[in-house]
Structure 1
């Protein structure tokens, strides 16, 4: 809390985790439930404005996810300002129709969803490690190795895999019409949309392969302006954050200082600079 106060942080995303099977996720379920309670208590004691987002664990099953949503938004005080969902859960991407009960519950609550990147999933490994079936024990490092391209030089998933993973799950959402089916949801997409800018026209063009789907450039723009937030749109939608606590505090402090310097240089107008630092992000949760 001292670190967050020092840098006037407005939003904390905590307990973000992707696990490969019900067996593995059962071991951390207590942790996932503890963290929202811990942050709610810490926020009360600190008496400061700090948005917080919860990270329910999907591999425990849809029912447990729905129960967690009910707990987070109807019992926890203060309730979270949104939730985090990974870009895929063992190959179950965010446009999967099995997620509709979850989106329906979140839509009723007008929830903001932050899409957090994880390793892509190949079709072969999706068949091997089904989210709803017994799966062999496997570490996160092994999972990344199984799903990465040849890793001679690009051994770190954030190098290229993560930006294109955002585009992949974004396309998946639109190919099943989730954003228009659940219009009260707001989506925060990482890394300026990742690989979306050079691929958006392809997403629209190849939507013709899906029977009954009629994506157009105009319809996409309309939905994007209403329900999606990136870190590179017009001024009123620019938001920024770091990976703290995944990123060490010392590194995060350097990033925050560098970001402040860039904002001051790029936006001499203090009102605009403050909007990028905090005001825009707060507007996500009004």
Structure 2
């Protein structure tokens, strides 16, 4: 089973579900990613800060599939918001992964206190022209950040990967993305260990109605909004279940029940507000 695809604003196509790899490291991580590939995942999301780009690259190589079968994403760390340093780290990341290009490359955080994200975006625009990146985008950008880079370069990101989960749906940013023709991706869509999304009784009740797990209900809620989930799992059964979300549709009433779980700023997973958060490495 593989996920259907969505068309980005640059004309390229990307799977509607991506495998998150944070925490998947070493031999165990490589085997988990290989299992995910066997289970049908073709979009794989990594980052320098995950300390696993080499492992991701090995899994892609050892899968035996053609490079063109994959949609590989990595991200620019906050310490490299400088035009020349963007190219240095980008080339290093490609070398670690054994790739000639990234299908998607994102500025991980805007770091607005530093004010260099526009310069970083200019570098991504040029890296795309050089063929190092197929689709360029951002992560955790608010509307003001998006406006600034578009005004400065005339180039609109293909993707904005943001936090979007039941306790913090981030619908305002998602709608702004849609207004600009930007695809929204969602990191940690089913929460983390510091919240109880996976045991929420409202989500459990909806799951019983459709004979689906809570994770499947959340993923379907995102997909019906036009959001691409980036979901991490090293468990083969969960990997398969997370792809098995295209055979049902949530009712409008159930969609609203999930929207009603939103807690605003208190619902953020790590209290990482992009207007104030700074990624130092």
Return the structure number with greater relative CO, CA threshold 8 A, min gap 6.
Answer: 2
TM-score using structure 2 length: 0.46
Q: Which has the higher helix share?
A: 1
Task: Please say which structure displays the higher CA radius of gyration.
Answer: 1
Q: Which has the higher strand share?
A: 2
TM-score using structure 1 length: 0.45
